[in-house]
Amino acid sequence: MKLGVFFSDFKGGGDVMTRLSADKLGIILVGNGVYHATVKENGKGSPLLEKNAAFYVLTEDLETRGFTVDKVDSRVKAVTYDDIVDLIFNDYEKIIWL
């Protein structure tokens, strides 16, 4: 199964994420979830980014929170709303929101 996950929380939801598995997993960071792509705690990036998945971050939500694309972790690809539509229709069979 090809599963796309919209992840919109910074501090919660990690327990569910550890249990998710799919043949192809894509995690789209939106809302407060964008902090996973930008914030480092104790010099380390978010543990979420250790998951075996493709990571995307919505640029509009980054900019709303005062970040620029150059501050995004190298494991995360910055995307627009149009890119997300393409991901939904072309890359993932099922979509969930956490």
Q: What's the pLDDT at 18?
A: 77
Mean pLDDT, 10 residues at a time, the chain of 98 residues: 92 74 94 92 86 96 96 96 96 93
Q: What's the pLDDT at 13?
A: 61
Q: What's the pLDDT at 16?
A: 79
Domain count, the chain: 1
Residue 52 CA: distances (Å) to CA of 58, 63, 70, 80? 19, 26, 23, 22
CATH number of the CATH domain containing 45: 3.40.1260.10
Range of the domain at 6: 2-97
Q: What's the pLDDT at 12?
A: 66
Q: What count of other Cβ atoms lies within 10 Å of the Cβ of residue 52?
A: 7
Q: What's the pLDDT at 85?
A: 96
